[in-house]
Amino acid sequence: MCVVKDETGQTTIESKVATRREAIESFVRGLGGRVRIAFEEGSQAQWLYELLRPISERVIVCDPRKIATKGNKDDQRDAERICELLRLNALQPVYHDHADQKLKELVRCYEALVDDSLRVMLRIRAIYRSRAISVKARSAYHPLRRAEWLEQITDGGGRFRAEQLYIQLDHLLELRRRARTMVLRQACNQRAYRLLRTVPGIGPLRAAEIIAIIGDPHRFRTKRQLWAYAGLGVITRSSGEWVPDSGTGRIRRSSRPPLTRGLNRNFNRPLKKIFKMAAHDVTGRPGELDQSYERMIARGMRPEMAYLTLARKIAAIVLAVWKKGASFDSRLIAQSV
């Protein structure tokens, strides 16, 4: 559903346009003049963004969760609401770019294969657990140990099911290895790839994933924007920030610190996983980040909070290294938090 309004807010066109390149281009070109376009983030948002950007003055992809809705929700009302907000310049855009799309697609393919292979492994484990067979090691998935594990399943149906899952797992692991090779081969073309690999805890695959997810480091003005995007931003709530002074009667700022309410919930989950796993990997290895972790534990900080602090440090270091175009320097650790 497409709605077109003029500068005064009057609706000039309401039309249904087929989701085809030719139909969309013909509709937009037929409007003439300066055209600004807005639509919601979705599975076709990147395709629409690349299609409409060359033939319009401005294209905004907005976050539907940040648009207040009133009354019933349908395509026509949504289009009218977005069109009006676009006219008032009240839409908050979602970041879209023309970065290495091939690397983005390869990383998405690899992550999907990782999820699928993990799902199959859990199904295999569930077969053994349903028969009171304890599975505490990865030997149940190893090709040379599968025969002895299958012998513990006495019923024919359960054994056949496990055999088919093993075949499925072998195919997924092979596809996963091929996808990983393609990701690393494509990431080598990026200059940032060599820089990010110098950061502790950021290996070849994580560096490639960070480049594919973030795209441009300058989209984050400071490290705090990156923390929020990666789900590492601490949410604070303050009530009664200004209170009257008992002596003078004047209004002053309360000395009571704001209360924390955990981490932000709207975030990029793959990116948060990367930084959290990197924080776990740097602990136990000689280095300044491990020493920083030990000092936090010695001060009485809980291990999970220490890991969170390390993840924030690594995220800040990644952003600084990428923006400056220089390799990792240990002095960045003191500036990261």
Confidence (pTM) = 0.84
Report the pLDDT value the prediction gives residue 185, as an integer from 0 to 100. 96
Residue 251's pLDDT band (cuts 50, 70, 90): confident
Q: Please name the amino acid found at residue 76.
A: Q
| Least trusted range by pLDDT, from 69-83, 130-144, 245-259 | 245-259
Between 257 and 55, residue with greater pLDDT: 55
Distance separating alpha carbons of residues 189 and 206, to the nearest angstrom? 15
Strands (E), the chain: 2-5, 11-15, 36-40, 58-62, 234-237, 242-244, 251-253, 259-263
- pLDDT score, position 109: 97
- Model pLDDT for residues 191-203, shown as the tens digit of each residue: 899 999 999 999 9
pLDDT, one tens digit per residue, over 43-79 is 899 999 999 999 999 999 998 888 877 767 788 888 9
Count of other CB atoms within 10 angstroms of residue 268: 14
- Inform me whether the pLDDT recorded for 246 exceeds 80: no
The pLDDT, as a whole number, for residue 116 is 97
On the question of pLDDT at 267 being above 70, the answer is yes
Provide the pLDDT for residue 329: 78
Q: For residue 337, is pLDDT > 60?
A: no
Question: Among candidates 84, 107, 295, 330, which has minimal Cα distance to 213?
Answer: 107
Mean of pLDDT over the chain: 90
Q: What span, in angstroms and rounded, lies between the C-alpha atoms of 128 and 153?
A: 8
Spatial distance between the Cα atoms of 16 and 171, rounded to a whole number of angstroms: 44
172 Cβ neighbours under 8 A, 6+ residues apart: 113, 116, 117, 120
Report how far residue 255's alpha carbon sits from residue 40's, in angstroms, rounded to the nearest whole number.
42
pLDDT over 90 (residue 159):
yes
Rounded mean pLDDT, 80-94: 90
Q: How far is CA 115 from CA 20, 173, 205, in A?
A: 32, 11, 16
Give the mean pLDDT of 304-323: 94
Q: Which pLDDT value is given to residue 97? A: 77
What is the C-alpha to C-alpha distance for residues 197 and 207, in angstroms, rounded to an integer? 6
The strand pairing partners of 131, in sequence order, are none
The pLDDT-based confidence of 258 (bands split at 50, 70, 90) is low
Q: What is the mean pLDDT of residues 201-214?
A: 95
Pick the more confident residue, 204 or 261: 204
